[in-house]
Amino acid sequence: MKPSDIHILIVDDEASIRDALKQWFELDGYNVSSAEDANAALLKLQQGPWDIVMLDIKMPGIDGLELQRRIKKIDKNIITIMITAFASVETSIQALKEGAFDYIVKPVDPDDMSHLIRNAVEQRRLMHENNQLRQHIDDISFSDEIIGESPEIKKVLEKVLEVSQTDSTVIIKGENGSGKELIARAIHSQSHRKYFPIITINCGAYSDGLLESELFGHEKGAFPGALYRRQGRLEMADKGTIFLDEIGQISDKMQADILRVLDTRQFSRLGGDKVIDVDFRIICSTTHDLERAVQEGSFREDLYYRLNVVTISIPPLRERKLDIPALARFFIKKYSQSMNKNVLDISQDTLDMLVEYNWPGNIRELRNVIERAMVVAKGNLVELDDLSFFFPVVDIGSEETLPSLDEVEKIHIQKVLDQTNGNIAQAAGILKVSRLTMYNKIEKYQLKKSKNDMPH
Amino acid sequence: MPYIYIQPIKTDYAPWIEGLEKSVYTVFGYHTKVANLDINLEKTFDQTRHQYNSSQILLQIISRPPADAVKVLGVVNVDLFIPILTFVFGEAQLRGIGSVIALHRLNNKFYGLSEDRELLKERLVKEAIHELGHNFGLVHCNNQSCVMKSSTYVEEVDQKSADMCSRCRELLRELL
Ligand SMILES: [Zn+2]
Ligand SMILES: [Zn+2]
């Protein structure tokens, strides 16, 4: 969303305030309009769509509180920010109770104003993304890629629906590429929190200190390099869901921190002492066996029990082979559109081959294979030939066609990289070589390090 | 030939005018002239806030601009405000002719530090280019070192450069 996609309406009976705010927000590139009273505002609101309305609490005629009620009736997702001349705490609190995003007491510090509007815009942006996602999930109506028709996946979906009606903490278990984030998003988008963001944080991707600051945010000057105050993911997830991807990879200290937040629903930004209250639901995922980690002492038992209220295990693709044809066709349709190709289906022998294969990289690997096959596909069908990069056709009868060691190595490394979604450390682990060797091989064969994430 | 006019208001411009003129020419390609408009600063003083109303100063600046002015930039050495905010470093009309900036809060003295004339000149140039950028139609930029990044603290003014990022420069070329 560009700033010019954000529509802000200013409602104030005082022309100087109206004009100053309009001008101030226009310099940020937002699309701004103003109204001198509630009636004029309501007229403009009908011409919508609006993202943010800033309104004076005290106005002749319909006052700010009443106007806010009417705005929320028109569209309860519009962000409202109240303007008040003096700290009339009671009315302001009433406004917050009735759904105001925040309020400002004039005159306001420019920095506070900037932060406020940035947060409001961020909230709106996340809401928007979420709506798109919800739309998406509605569109595929729980059928195509997450679902399939196998009894295994149907069981998962039943559980998704069941748990989305509660606020319980959920652990999603599954192999790499099995679609854990997709399931987390499905839970969120079926829950009452769906109009608020789901914030994902990949715990395995950050060092300890960085993870802490990502999660809790920091104040300006909290550590060298903290030039600005920064909101953490937990704060962004307020009223929504936080998805802690790869929870098994966090340190003892982070385990203790997360346990505390779980208990108190409160935390402070790094370098700050203001206590921030948050209302969120936690969903986490793991590829590791957490129970074993608990037994081995690398994962706190108390945290494990707090998190493990509901467990959803996603079966690996090889255990739901029934779904492979539908998934393959789903991706063919998807890439036909995005690549602007006229590939309609897949030949039976190719499909048999796909069903036969055991998919260590799960759906992500299947998706990558289809994507690459689609690039080379010529006719209306994905044919076996299009998958030659994947199932090298080796004619042992003729020596010339035998692949060289380099070719075999290249294909194999790419396969492992696809399976680990470009995670070099993991790929090196599987291949039992050093990371440096991995980098050298990638360089040598010009391999693709990362594929996009799971489709959603 | 059109000029960008610089209008010092009740402030000695000798120490900084040359550097400012050079930078304005480099960025916008216009030569500058010092304007001599009749601005009544006292009239814009707010008794209760003990600050000067920047919008009212701006109104005076744009009411009778010189005939060959493409833009007019006022420079004051007082504390400016707009009614909704506690203070502003400056104010500009988006795609308009006028802007105004204040030295007051750009000066280290305001923060209880010893005076640093070079730093003050640097900050003045950044704010001037920034507000003139708005006059030419640029909005705030997210690039941390771009002069069009919005700054609400003087430290933020120091963090950005006096230059535009390539994207803003590109946009400016289309707008000029
Ligand atoms: Zn600006
Ligand atoms: Zn820029």
Structure tokens at A149: 């028709």
Catalytic one of B91, B122, B131, B156: B131
Q: Which ligand is closest to the CA of B161, given by its number?
A: 2
Higher pLDDT pick, B28 / A435: B28
pLDDT score of A453: 37
Which of B119, B125, B117, B131 minimizes the C-alpha distance to B155? B119
Q: Which of B85, B139, B157 to mutate to test the interface with A (most CBs of A within 10 A)?
A: B85
Q: Which ligand is nearest to the Cα of residue B148, counting in written order? A: 2
pTM of the model: 0.54
Q: Degrees (nearest 5) of the Cα angle A86, A87, A93?
A: 135
pLDDT of chain A, 456 residues: tens digit per residue:
788 899 999 999 999 999 999 999 999 999 999 999 999 999 998 887 899 999 999 888 899 999 999 998 888 889 999 998 876 667 877 888 888 988 888 888 888 898 889 889 988 888 777 666 555 544 444 434 465 778 888 888 888 888 988 899 999 999 988 889 889 988 888 888 887 788 888 888 777 778 888 889 888 877 776 766 777 888 888 889 999 998 988 889 899 999 999 888 888 888 888 888 889 999 999 988 888 889 988 899 999 988 988 999 999 999 988 889 988 988 898 888 878 888 889 999 889 889 988 888 898 889 889 988 888 888 888 988 888 777 655 444 445 556 778 888 888 888 888 888 778 878 888 888 877 788 888 888 888 765 443 333
User: CA B147 to CA B140: how far, in whole Å?
Assistant: 9
At residue A87, the pLDDT reads 62
Radius of gyration over alpha carbons of chain A, in Å? 26
Q: Is B174 designated active site?
A: no
**What pLDDT, on the 0 to 100 scale, is given for residue B28?**
95
Sign of CA dihedral B3, B9, B10, B11: negative
Tell me if B58 sits within 8 A of B81, measured CB to CB.
no
Nearest-by-Cβ selection for B88 from A3, A110, A114? A110
- Residue B38 Cα to ligand 1 midpoint, Å, equals 26
Peptide bond into A107 cis (omega under 30): yes
Tokens of A163: 């748990």
Query: What span, in angstroms and rounded, lies between the C-alpha atoms of B77 and B102?
Result: 5
Element (H, E) at A18: helix A15-27
How many whole angstroms separate alpha carbon A262 and alpha carbon A256?
10
Cis amide leading into A49 (omega within 30): yes
Rounded to a whole number, what is the distance in Å from the CA of B37 to chain A's nearest CA?
Answer: 24
Task: Go through A113-141 and write b for each residue having 16 or more CB atoms within 10 A of its CB, e for each that does not.
Answer: bbbbbebbbebbebbeebeebbeebeeee
**Closest chain A residue to B90 measured between Cα atoms?**
A24
User: Which pLDDT does position A304 carry in this prediction?
Assistant: 92
For A103, A106, A379, A396, the CA distances from A99, given in Å and listed in that order, are: 11, 20, 55, 71
- pLDDT higher than threshold 90 for residue B172: yes
The H-or-E segment that residue B100 falls in is strand B98-102
pLDDT value, residue A143: 36
B93: nearest CA in chain A? A23
Does A106 lie at the interface with B, CB-CB under 8 angstroms? yes
Amino acid identity at A189: S
Provide the pLDDT confidence category of residue B56 given band limits of 50, 70 and 90.
Answer: very high
pLDDT number for residue A147: 58
Question: Are the C-beta atoms of A98 and A69 separated by less than 8 Å?
Answer: yes
Q: Please give the distance, rounded to the nearest whole angstrom, from the Cα atom of residue B113 to the centre of ligand 1.
A: 25
Report angle CA B107, B97, B171 to the nearest 5 degrees: 85
Query: Left (φ > 0), alpha (ψ -120 to 50) or beta: where does A421 sit?
Result: left
Q: How many CB pairs (< 8 A) connect A and B?
A: 62
Taking any CB pair shorter than 8 Å as contact, residues of chain B touching chain A are: 49, 55, 81-88, 91-94, 134, 139-140, 150, 152-153, 159
Q: Which helix (H) or strand (E) holds B54?
A: helix B54-63
State how far the Cα of A148 lies from the Cα of A130, in Å rounded to an integer: 23
Q: Which tokens sit at A262? A: 């779980």
Question: Nearest bound ligand to CA B164?
Answer: 2
Q: What is the ipTM of this complex?
A: 0.91
Are the C-beta atoms of A281 and A193 separated by less than 8 Å? yes
List beta partners, residue B116: none
Give the position of tokens 């999930």. A137
Ligand 2 center–CA A223 separation, angstroms: 27
pLDDT for A383? 87
CB distance A81 to A55 below 8 Å? yes
Residue contact B150–A113, C-beta within 8 A: no
Predicted local confidence at residue A395, as pLDDT:
44
What local confidence, expressed as pLDDT, does residue A455 receive?
32
Which tens digit of pLDDT belongs to each residue from B133-146? 999 999 999 888 89
For every residue of A73-96, DSSP letters joined together read HH-TTSEEEEEESS--HHHHHHHH
Q: Which residues of B touch A28 (CB under 8 A)?
A: 139-140, 150
Does an H or E element contain B118, and which? helix B117-135
Of the candidates A21, A27, A28, the beta carbon closest to that of B84 is on A21
